[in-house]
Structure 1
Amino acid sequence: MTERQNKLQKYAAPALEKGLDILEFLSLTDTRPTLSQLATGIGRSKNEIFRMVIVLEERGYIRREEGEYFALTDKLSAVAAKRSNNSKMVEIAGPFLSRLADETGMSNHMSVLEDNQFLVIASTPVSQNYGLSVQVGYRFDFFGTSAGLCFLSEFQRSQDRIALLSRNQPTLSIAAFSDYDQHVKNVQQDGYAVLPNPEAMSIREMSAPIRHVQTGSTIAAVTIPYFSTDENANSISKVAAHLLEEVGKLQEKIALTIPAIRMNNFRYAQND
């Protein structure tokens, strides 16, 4: 046995291997197998794969059809497409976000909506001795954030926005939703919104939406976090002007480079 084979054996993950075997088999077959046929196809017993099939079904990667037949869903393709779009946006946004950081002297980050949470896909620090920055890969909740307001601003009617929030945050009160919803008009009128960070009230976050010109869908938000000080308060209008300028240029570049994409899970939730 080679050194590579020894390493592979040492770090083997049997459960993962079963899951991958199932997905690969379903991707290659033209028929929809039963559990028994699926087990035979990958050289395992029904008992070996039963739990993995349940997990893959619950996570939306496979579906069970009438007659206990199994088939792949399009989730794998959707995940791959989303990753591709995210990578393209990060590449395109780099120069714009860097220029924004230089112009404002403040860090910024770009986030997209995934499963009703935000995922930071790009983060641009500043060259000063200190600043606020967020790591790429960081996830944060939708509700209560200025980035969340950017996505809600697509909807013109307050009742539609509150209905969507209620479905995705069922434990929060209508009063809390209504208070948050009052800030949506700031994005609709001014193109950006400012809110305290939900976890650190001394930090303010200014966010502006990135919309795809062809679809009008909000595909990301650019956020500038900053400390709530008198000095920063005096420069807020200049920071906002730089933010809107760079976001506008970025939107134009994305429209020319990336085909019409739908990345806003919230937008289509009302039609489920």
Structure 2
Amino acid sequence: MKPKYSFPTIDQNPDDADGIASPPPAEDRYRAPALDKGLDILELLARQPQGLTRAEIVKEMDRNASEIYRMLERLVARQYVLRSLSGDRYSLSLKLFTLAHMHPPLNRLVTQAIPIMEAFAQKAEQACHMGVYDQGNVLITAQVNGPGTWSMTIRVGVHVGLVDTASGRVLLAFADASRAQQMLAQHTALEGEVPIESDALAAALGIIRQQGYFERDSLQSFGVADISCPIFGPDHSALAALTCPYVRRIDRHVGPDQKTVRLLLQQAAQALSLTQGGFAPASRHT
């Protein structure tokens, strides 16, 4: 939106009859080129799971080789970037993820979630994980393995799709309307994402809200049923999603069936919601 008023810049004469120049855009007002270069490198490497050589980084960023070299050396020294043993390839370390987990609200949520998730895994004999919304998709922040031989796990720190996963749909379903629109606007499709039409997505989210949980055969893995429940905060929206990739047993052991596992997951999500000052209506857990 155009400013209602404008003021003279520092090097401009306020009495100049030619008028007053508008201030520069906010994003250009306080430039820090060195910081921008470092952040550009981190964002580039974040999209490359196998890392990149220095020459590839220079080419992708279209910058001078010497300035990229200096920046890479500092990022390596500060342990944000790792150099391969052969010295010719650079990749992102987990330091940014570690810093994110030092953020008190997320750190507290993960710390309080782990014992509840471990108790669920023992009772259900299934793995579970917790995801939160992050920059258009879902960030997996905690993972607990099942006690048996067979379970489906996902790495902590990875991003999964917002629209085609159980966790993503639960987070969307239990966000207020304006927040859900913002999440969808920020969403960027990940590799292998299963697309869905907007009308079909809206209908699916309505069913999730009515049921209070999500349950369906996984779109990502055969033989797995995704079950996901919201973890509510004080504002009654979902802070996170607690998800169990229910593996149908192929051995002779008879464990809890899918319905029992879903009820256990709902109880775990409700218990964790209470630790966050939120709650889940009783009708959603019947």
Give the TM-score category using the shorter length. 0.5 to 0.7
Q: Does 1:121 align with 2:141?
A: yes
- Is structure 2 residue 224 aligned with structure 1 residue 227? no
Given that 1:206 and 1:225 are in contact with CA atoms closer than 8 Å, whether structure 2 keeps it comes out as: yes
Alignment-derived partner of residue 209 in structure 1: 230
Deviation at 1:155, TM superposition (A): 5.1
The count of corresponding residues between Structure 1 and Structure 2 is 191
- Measure how far apart 1:217 and its partner are: 2.6
How much does 1:175 deviate?
6.0
Tell whether the 8 Å contact from 2:137 to 2:187 is kept in structure 1 after alignment: no
Deviation at 1:85, TM superposition (A): 1.9
Cα gap change, 1:92/1:155 in structure 2, threshold over 3 Å: closer, same or farther? closer
The residue number in structure 2 matching 1:182 is 203
Overall identity of the aligned pairs, in %: 17
Alpha carbons 2:231, 2:273 under 8 Å: kept: yes
Matched residues in 2 for 1:160 and 1:254: separation? Answer: 20
Partner residue of 2:131? Answer: 111
**Cα RMSD (Å):** 3.9
> Letter of the aligned partner of 1:165 in structure 2?
L
Cα contact 1:144–1:180 (8 A) shared by 2: no
> 1:6-53: per-residue Cα shift (whole Å, max 9, x none)?
xxxxxxxxxxxxxxxxxxxxxxxxxxx977xxxxxxxxxxxxx74544
The one-letter code sitting in structure 1 at the alignment partner of 2:229 is A
Report the CA distance shift for 1:215/1:59 in structure 2 as closer, same or farther (over 3 A): farther
SS at match of 1:182: helix
Does the 8 Å contact 2:170/2:228 carry over to 1?
yes
Deviates more, 1:198-207 or 1:165-174: 165-174
User: 2 CA distance for matches of 1:115 and 1:239?
Assistant: 30
What is the 5 A alignment of 1:106-185? 106-154=126-174, 165=184, 168-169=187-188, 176-185=197-206
Compared CA separation, residues 152 and 243, structure 1 to 2 (3 A): same
| 1:165–1:177 contact (8 Å) kept in structure 2 | no
Cα distance in 1 for residues equivalent to 2:153 and 2:100: 28
1:196 has 2:217 as partner: yes
Residues 175 and 166 (structure 1), Cα distance of their counterparts in 2 relative to 1, 3 Å cut: farther
Structure 1, gaps ≥5 residues long: 1-32, 36-48, 61-75, 257-272
Listed as ranges, the matches of 1:220-259 within 5 Å are 220-227=240-247, 235-255=257-277
In structure 2, distance between residues paired with 1:229 and 1:93:
26
* Corresponding residue number in structure 2 for 1:102: 122
Higher relative contact order (CA 8 A, sep 6+): 1
In structure 2, distance between residues paired with 1:247 and 1:59? 34
| Aligned equivalents of 2:227, 2:171: Cα separation in 1 | 14
1:226 alignment partner, SS class: strand
TM-score, structure 1 as length reference = 0.57
Deviations 1:197-224 (A, max 9, x none): 3332432211001110x22231110000
Give the 3 Å change call, closer, same or farther, for CA 59–241 of structure 1 in structure 2: same
Q: Does the C-alpha gap of structure 1 residues 216 and 127 become closer, same or farther in structure 2, counting only changes over 3 Å?
A: same
Gaps of 5+ in 2: 1-28, 44-95, 279-286
- Offset, 1:179: 2.1
Q: Secondary structure at the match of 1:238?
A: helix
Please give the secondary structure, in 2, of the residue aligned with 1:205: strand
Letter aligned with residue 103 of structure 2: R
C-alpha distance in structure 2 between counterparts of 1:185 and 1:34, whole Å: 44
1:91 aligns with 2:111: yes
1:82 shift after superposition: 7.4
TM-score normalized with structure 2 length = 0.55
- C-alpha deviation, 1:195, in angstroms: 3.1
* Residues 111 and 119, structure 1, Cα contact 8 Å, conserved in 2: yes
